[in-house]
A and B are shown apart, each in its own frame.
Chain A
Amino acid sequence: MGRPESEHESESESESATDDQSAAGAAPTHRREEILLLLAGFGGRRPEQVPEAVDSMELAWLIHQIEQRYDTRLDLDDAALARMATVSGAAAVIDELEFG
């Protein structure tokens, strides 16, 4: 309804993604698929509907979903969070944590 008066506040400078953007990244395919699956839960989407770019709302969602899935607290610094502005980047950061 109507218009909100406020905003979700964050600094994520995610870039636009193109339809045919490559899935290339350092993380294994299964990690990328896991990230897509977790992001799809936000807004009730299918994994193939998740854009490559991860915006600030999705990032907050993703961090929490990973924390819940692995029952851990992600203590990521700002630089690591900034790298998570794409699905591939997020997969790479999570993969470096070496759990799951």
Chain B
Amino acid sequence: MTGAEEQRKRKIRRTALIMAAIAVAFYVGFILMGVLRA
């Protein structure tokens, strides 16, 4: 695997993890908002 491919692979994993983290943050955030209001 060339350096460029390795770099692209890293970018793919990083973007996927950031997106997954955003999704989890929305999920937890809204439940937390419910807890704080209850």
A, B assembled together: no
* Interface residues of A, Cβ cutoff 8 Å to B: none
Which of B's residues lie within 8 Å of A, judged by CB? none
